[in-house]
Structure 1
Amino acid sequence: MSNETKTGNGNGSVDVHRQALVKDLKGAVSDAHQLIQAVADASADEYGAAAQAVQNKLDEARTRLSGARTAISEKSQAAAKATQAYVTHNPWTAIGIAAGVGVIAGFFIGRR
């Protein structure tokens, strides 16, 4: 188990991927806006260049999204393994926590 999993500070790579994805998507939107304006008064060559620029930005965004998806998947798998290990080593504590959550949930549901 890595130190990131133990301390809970492993969100850095997810944040980096998310920020890069947002930047790429903003770039794609900007390029699409430029493409729309270019279509109004552009030649076929200019349209083709603008369309290619938009396609490139979308491809970059897809790549970033794939990286973010992979990072999130790895983080969730690590969290699931850590939870499994905790429950395996501390079954009565886990049962107590689950019972407490159930009592609290029952209390709030009963108040309706």
Structure 2
Amino acid sequence: MPDQILNAEKEQLLADVRSVLNHTEELLAGAGEEGGAKAQELRNKLGANLKLAKERLLEAEKLTVAKARAAAKVTDQYVHEHPWKAIGIAAAIAFLIGLLVSRR
């Protein structure tokens, strides 16, 4: 369930950033065709859109870092509560990787 929420948040954020960047590209194309006051207005809008895109990307970075820290904390807690089980899982994964590597 949390993965579904994370994926939905990520997809929405990516859609927002794509929308801002597409709108910025349209403004940039229009700024090349216009002169004078209209061009200045388009440049101002372009600057605002780029600022918004940067803010959204920073939000995405903060969200990703927070989720990674939470996952690391949960993993650390699990390993401390179940050390032998964690060692067994790690050994099994290492064994499987060894089998896969030796077949090549």
Quickly name the TM-score band, shorter chain normalised: 0.7 to 0.9
The two structures have a TM-score, normalised by structure 1, of 0.78
Query: Structure 1: which 5+ runs fail to align?
Result: 1-7
Among the aligned pairs, what percent are the same residue? 27
> Structure 1 residues 72, 22: closer, same or farther in 2, change over 3 A?
same
What are the equivalent positions in structure 2 for 1:61-76 lying under 5 Å apart?
Answer: 61-76=53-68
CA–CA distance in 2 between the matches of 1:11 and 1:69?
18
Q: Say how many residue pairs are matched.
A: 104
Q: Does 1:28 align with 2:16?
A: no
TM-superposition CA deviations, 1:57-109 (whole Å, max 9, x none): 11111111111111111110010000000000100000000100011001011
Contact 1:17 1:64 (8 Å CA) reproduced:
no
Higher relative contact order (CA 8 A, sep 6+): 1
CA–CA distance in 2 between the matches of 1:54 and 1:76?
33
Q: Which amino acid aligns with 1:39?
A: G
Higher mean displacement: 95-104 or 11-20: 11-20
Shift of 1:51: 1.0
* Residue in structure 2 matched with residue 4 of structure 1 by the alignment: none
* Residue in structure 2 matched with residue 5 of structure 1 by the alignment: none
When the two chains are superposed, the root-mean-square deviation of aligned CA atoms in Å is 2.1
The two structures have a TM-score, normalised by structure 2, of 0.83
Query: Structure 2: which 5+ runs fail to align?
Result: none
CA–CA distance in 2 between the matches of 1:69 and 1:10?
17
> Structure 1 residues 95, 13: closer, same or farther in 2, change over 3 A?
closer
